[in-house]
Amino acid sequence: MTAPRPMRADARRNYERIVATAREVFLDQGPEAPLDDIARKACVGAGTLYRHFPRREDLLEAVYSDDIKRLSDLAYQLLEEHEPREALALWMREQVGFALRKRGLATALKAAMDSDSATFKLCKIVMAEAVTAILDATQKAGVVRTDVEPRDLLLLAHGVAVGTEANPSATERLLNVTLDGLKPQT
């Protein structure tokens, strides 16, 4: 069995443009938005879209996995650029913002994807590794309680997003309370 050929540069650009456009259109119109509209707005032909994404679910998975990859990559980038506590705060803010922006879309994307799909499983692994990396760094630095688990950070960010969806002005305050609650007890 031979490895798949790498994508040509123009095909890669089309793929990336379709995913970026689909993200915007899905946020605006929902996951049932016409695929032909996405192709038109991405400035590609319908054939190009369907060659990359034969089924709607393929495009939904690509958008979802790209979003998760960006969010998880950000955790590592922030750890390189900031002290662990600041990296955690910035990443939690991004997590909450992501959840607020994508709440309805993320729910629809997950519903449209099979929870046993390879993409969904890979996204869970990628996020688990990223949140573990950021939590380990903060706990080693002594700035986060040792009884906090990786999944706790994801649940806390999700909770702040859900809890402030109807009152966005409370987001920053509640996120600060959450971050203060993560500090080691003295």
Q: Write the burial class of residue 4 (CB in 10 Å: 0-12 exposed, 13-18 middle, 19+ buried).
A: exposed
Residue 10 pLDDT level (bands cut at 50, 70, 90): confident
Predicted confidence (pLDDT) per residue in 98-137, tens digit: 888 776 666 666 666 666 777 778 888 999 999 999 999 9
Burial 31-55 (b: 16+ CB within 10 A, else e): bebebeebbebbebeeebbeebbee
What pLDDT is stored for residue 176 in this prediction?
96
Give the predicted TM-score (pTM) of the model: 0.81
Q: Which is more confident, 1 or 117?
A: 117
Mean pLDDT score of the chain: 89
Give me the domains of the chain, ranges plus CATH numbers.
7-54 (1.10.10.60), 57-181 (1.10.357.10)
d(CA 154, CA 159): 8
- Dump pLDDT digits (tens) for 163-174: 998 898 999 999
Structure tokens at 92: 């939690």
The rounded distance, in Å, linking the Cα atoms of 68 and 58 is 15
How many other CB atoms sit within 10 Å of the CB of residue 71? 21
Contact 63, 109 (CB under 8 A): yes
CB 62 within 8 A of CB 121: no
